[in-house]
Amino acid sequence: MSGGAVKPDPATEAAAVNPRSLLRRVVPKPSRSDDLFGEQLAVTATTVDRAFAVVLALEWLVGVALSLVVSPLAWEGAKSAIHVHVWAALLLGGVVALPPAILAWLRPGQVWTRHLIAASQMLMAALYIHLTGGRIETHFMIFGSLAFLAAYRDWKVLITASVVVLIDHLLRGWLYPRSVYGVDSAPIWRSLEHVWWVVFEDIFLILMILRSNRVQQTVALNKLGEMGQYKLKERLGGGGMGEVYLAEHRLLKRPCAIKLIRPDVARQANTLDRFKREVQTTALLRHPNTVAIYDYGDLEDGTFFYVMEHLPGLSLQQLVEEHGPLPPGRAIYLLRQVCGALCEAHATGFVHRDVKPDNVLVCCLGGQHDVAKLFDFGLVRTVEDEDPASRLTKVGSILGTPSFMSPEQVMGEPIDQRSDLFSLGVVAYFLLTGKLPFEGNNSLAVMYARLKDSVQPPTFHRPNLPRDLERIVLQCLARDAPMRFADAKSLEKAMAECPCAVDWNDERAKNWWNECSDGSGKSKISDLPTRTYPKVTPNDI
């Protein structure tokens, strides 16, 4: 939702050309930069893995049948009732085929799984050639196997398979030619001929894979860029859950931000419920300091998305990291707006549960400057919601960001709007000092400090802060909820009565934003890497 993508300088790119990049142009690596394309390849790999698991098991059984019926005819001089190749097919074939087949069925989609499958498939082809005494018909199994392995859409798998079959043919053709060619001796050109045919097919298949990958990626990008009435323009950010894109409504030409939740994440019931609750909750709120939700839905591939207003600006986290602690007047100016957003949410019966600097965006909007927007209602809960079936949090687990959680939230106790006021107090402390009131080496240490340690007054870090504002922040950070402000309205009123509240207004905000922009009005504020405060998971408890 913030900042634009920085486009690389073509001259710099041209100067950075090296042999490795030239090689990539000749044999380019299939691109996974686009999530949708990467997910399509991952689904393909999983499907092919399981298909080969079945094929390898069947090949083992067919190999045993060949050893019983064909091997005694292909290999003269069989004396025993059970031909020796039966044991080769049973034991060697079982070792080569069954473990990779089981692995491919249980752990599909792994890179090393497909390479193991490739090696196993080529060794089974070699075993078939041996069982039939080097008959030319079974040599075609090598070429067929390479063609089937191309279904992975990964040219590196073909290289693995080719290396295995070439080593096998060269060694057996030299040491035991009858096993490969059906004759007791064979000139070296026979092996070279086989090498050439394998290389020829590899070249053809690799070119086909690269071409089809380019086509599929183009289709995926077009599909991703054409979401019904929205057109995606550029990626704004992303993480483990999904991606955020700058988009535009086709008819209204209104810029917006679209958050895409990856299909594998969306398939997790609790996670999808969380995002749907975030959308539904935010859509009910109309306060100007709450981010607006325009639309949401599902794509054909299972990707969940929602559309919100695009707010070019920076988070409170980025603001402090780049420009340092805020003047008291400006901190109050922004915090009062957040209080307004919380007032409406609390009046509706919602508790945000994840108020933090990363979830408050500062922007210019509608001719106003320093407009604060509260977003990310993914952890919201209603105060009256006590129905266990509706809880998104598992029993015994805590959700939130440790550095900003209230003591009752840490303890897993019932919470109300005063929990959000505690979190807002931590945000205020951070805005005024650039530091957090509770810190530790890990999540548990931070939560323990919340329950046991006393808070250093903000003036400890910044002695010239107004005392009345410090008292407000410390009241928000009271360990016992009854000692805090009763509601966000009371907190907003207390901050408005601070004498320093008049030190910052829209005019001063306008001057500040003008100083941080070039002549075109485009912000010069860099896209800083936002500090990530890890959310607590059950493993931390």
Q: Residue 512 belongs to a domain with what CATH number? A: 1.10.510.10
- CA 324 from chain centre, in angstroms, equals 30
Considering the domain architecture, whether residues 299 and 403 belong to the same structural domain is answered as no
Residue 16 lies in a domain: no
CA atoms within 13 A on the CB side of 540: 19
Closest CA to 379 of 354, 408, 345: 354
Q: For the CA atoms of the chain, what is the radius of gyration?
A: 32
d(Cα 300, Cα 291) in Å, to the nearest integer? 27
Considering the domain architecture, whether residues 405 and 299 belong to the same structural domain is answered as no
Residue 290 lies in a domain: yes
Contact criterion met (CB below 8 Å) for 504 and 330: yes
What pLDDT sits at residue 74?
Answer: 64
Residue 141 lies in a domain: yes
What pLDDT sits at residue 198?
Answer: 83
Considering the domain architecture, whether residues 363 and 407 belong to the same structural domain is answered as yes
Considering the domain architecture, whether residues 91 and 238 belong to the same structural domain is answered as no
Using the 3D structure, point to which of 201, 223, 245 is the last residue of a domain: 223
Residue 5 lies in a domain: no
Considering the domain architecture, whether residues 173 and 208 belong to the same structural domain is answered as yes
Residue 17 lies in a domain: no
Closest CA to 50 of 6, 105, 107, 132: 105
What pLDDT sits at residue 130?
Answer: 77
Using the 3D structure, point to which of 175, 203, 223 is the last residue of a domain: 223
Written as one string, the DSSP assignment of 420-467 is HHHHHHHHHHHHHHSS-SS--SSHHHHHHHHHHPPPPPHHHH-TTS-H
CATH assignment at residue 294:
3.30.200.20
Considering the domain architecture, whether residues 182 and 73 belong to the same structural domain is answered as yes
What pLDDT sits at residue 85?
Answer: 61
Considering the domain architecture, whether residues 184 and 274 belong to the same structural domain is answered as no
Considering the domain architecture, whether residues 138 and 255 belong to the same structural domain is answered as no
Question: The dihedral of CA 359, 363, 369, 370: what is its sign?
Answer: positive
Contact criterion met (CB below 8 Å) for 155 and 209: yes
What pLDDT sits at residue 16?
Answer: 41
Q: Domain count of the chain? A: 3
Please report, to the nearest 10 degrees, the dihedral formed by the alpha carbons of residues 146, 151, 155, 160 taken in order. Answer: -50
What pLDDT sits at residue 489?
Answer: 96
Could you list the residue range(s) of the whole structural domain that residue 253 is in? 228-308
Distances in Å between the Cα of 180 and the Cα atoms of 77, 97, 194 are: 18, 20, 11
d(Cα 279, Cα 499) in Å, to the nearest integer? 38
What pLDDT sits at residue 372?
Answer: 96
Closest CA to 323 of 528, 494, 36: 528
Residue 188 lies in a domain: yes
Considering the domain architecture, whether residues 206 and 267 belong to the same structural domain is answered as no
Considering the domain architecture, whether residues 318 and 295 belong to the same structural domain is answered as no
Using the 3D structure, point to which of 223, 246, 275 is the last residue of a domain: 223
d(Cα 531, Cα 164) in Å, to the nearest integer? 47
What pLDDT sits at residue 381?
Answer: 55
- Find all residues with CB under 8 Å of 29, minimum gap 6, and list them: none
Considering the domain architecture, whether residues 438 and 526 belong to the same structural domain is answered as yes
What pLDDT sits at residue 222?
Answer: 61
Give long-range contacts, CB 8 A cutoff, 24+ apart: 156-161.
Answer: 156/115, 157/114, 157/115, 157/118, 158/118, 158/202, 158/205, 158/206, 158/209, 159/202, 160/115, 160/118, 160/119, 161/118, 161/119, 161/121, 161/122
Neighbours of 344 (CB within 10 A): 18
What's the pTM? 0.57
What pLDDT sits at residue 86?
Answer: 66
- Find all residues with CB under 8 Å of 19, minimum gap 6, and list them: none
Contact criterion met (CB below 8 Å) for 143 and 197: yes
Residue 7 lies in a domain: no
- State whether residue 304 is helix, strand or coil: strand
- State whether residue 283 is helix, strand or coil: helix
What pLDDT sits at residue 535?
Answer: 42
Residue 242 lies in a domain: yes
Closest CA to 376 of 440, 306, 425, 427: 306
d(Cα 319, Cα 201) in Å, to the nearest integer? 57
Considering the domain architecture, whether residues 331 and 249 belong to the same structural domain is answered as no
What are the pLDDT tens digits along the chain (541 aa)? Answer: 444 443 444 444 444 434 333 333 333 333 334 555 666 778 888 888 888 889 888 888 887 787 777 766 666 654 444 556 666 667 777 888 888 888 888 888 888 888 999 998 888 888 888 777 777 777 788 888 888 888 888 888 989 988 988 888 778 777 777 777 777 777 766 767 777 788 888 888 888 888 887 777 676 666 555 667 888 888 887 765 678 888 888 888 889 988 887 777 767 767 777 777 777 877 888 899 999 888 888 777 677 888 989 888 899 999 999 999 999 999 999 999 999 999 999 998 888 888 999 999 999 988 899 999 998 775 555 554 544 433 334 333 455 688 899 999 888 888 899 999 999 999 999 999 999 998 877 778 888 777 888 899 999 999 999 999 999 999 999 999 999 999 999 999 999 999 999 999 999 999 999 888 643 334 444 333 333 333 433 333 3
